[in-house]
Chains A and B, each alone.
Chain A
Amino acid sequence: MRPPIIACITLLLASAAADGAVAVLHPDLANQRLDRDRVAGMLMGRISTWSDGTPVVVVLMDGQAAVADLTGREVPRLLRGWKRLVFSGSATMPTQVASIGDVVRQCMAARGAIAILDQPPTDPGTALVITLADPAP
Chain B
Amino acid sequence: MDDAAATRTLDAILQRQGIDHGRQHALPVTTRRICCIAHPSAPHDVAATNNDGDRSMGLSGEHLVTDTINCRSVVDLVGPGSKRLAGKFQQAWTRHRGHYGRKSGSASQAWLHGRTWLDIQAFMPLLRMLATCALTTMVVAADPADIPVDVHGFVGFGWFRTWENTYLVADSQQGSTEMWEAAVSVTSRPMDRLRLGVQLFARDLGIYDNGQPALDYAYADWRAEDWLGVQGGRVRIPVGLLQEEIDNDTARTQIFLPWSVYPLRVRDFFLAVDGAKAYGFIPLGGDQSVEYTAYGGVSTVDENGGFAISLARSAYGNINELTSKRTLGGMLHWNGPEGLSVRGSLWNTTGLSVRGKRGNVSTSADIGQYWWTVASLGWEAGDVQLAAEYSRVHYDGTATFTPPGIRVPVGQNQDGGYVSATWTANRWLEFYGAVEASRLQITNEDFGQTRALVGAFAIRPKPNWSLKLEWRELRGQAGYVTTLDNPSGLEQNWRMVALKTTADF
Question: A residues touching B (Cβ–Cβ < 8 Å)?
Answer: 37-38, 41, 46-49, 52-55, 62, 72, 74, 76-77, 79-81, 83-84, 86-90, 92-93
Contact = CB atoms under 8 A, between A and B. Distances in A.
Nearest to A45: B281
Contacts of B291: 46
**Shortest Cβ-Cβ A-B pairs, 7 listed:** A88-B244, A53-B192, A84-B251, A89-B217, A87-B248, A46-B281, A37-B283
B491 interface: no
25 contacts: A37-B287, A38-B226, A46-B291, A48-B195, A48-B223, A48-B229, A49-B193, A55-B189, A55-B192, A55-B193, A72-B339, A76-B427, A77-B424, A83-B152, A83-B154, A83-B250, A83-B504, A84-B244, A87-B152, A87-B185, A87-B199, A88-B236, A88-B245, A89-B216, A89-B231
Interface size class of B (residues with CB under 8 A): 35 or more
Interface string B185-224: 1010100110101010000000000000000110101010
Contacts, number: 92
Contacts of B197: 89
Interface string B229-257: 10100011010000011011011100000
Given A37-B283, A72-B380, A92-B187, A87 B247 contact: yes
Nearest to A49: B223
Nearest to B247: A87
Contacts of B252: 80
A87 B424 contact: no
Contacts of B287: 37
B114 interface: no
Interface string B438-465: 0000000000000000000000100100
Contacts of B283: 37-38, 41
A135 B285 CA distance: 13
A41 B290 CA distance: 11
Interface string B255-278: 000000000000000000000000
Contacts of B150: 92-93
Given A47-B226, A83-B504, A93-B152, A41 B189 contact: no
A37 B221 CA distance: 23
Contacts of A41: 226, 281, 283, 289
Given A72-B339, A83-B251, A87-B199, A49 B192 contact: yes
A47 B224 CA distance: 11
Contacts of B504: 83
B289 A90 contact: no
Contacts of A52: 192
Nearest to A37: B283
B183 interface: yes
A90 B192 contact: no
A7 B52 CA distance: 75
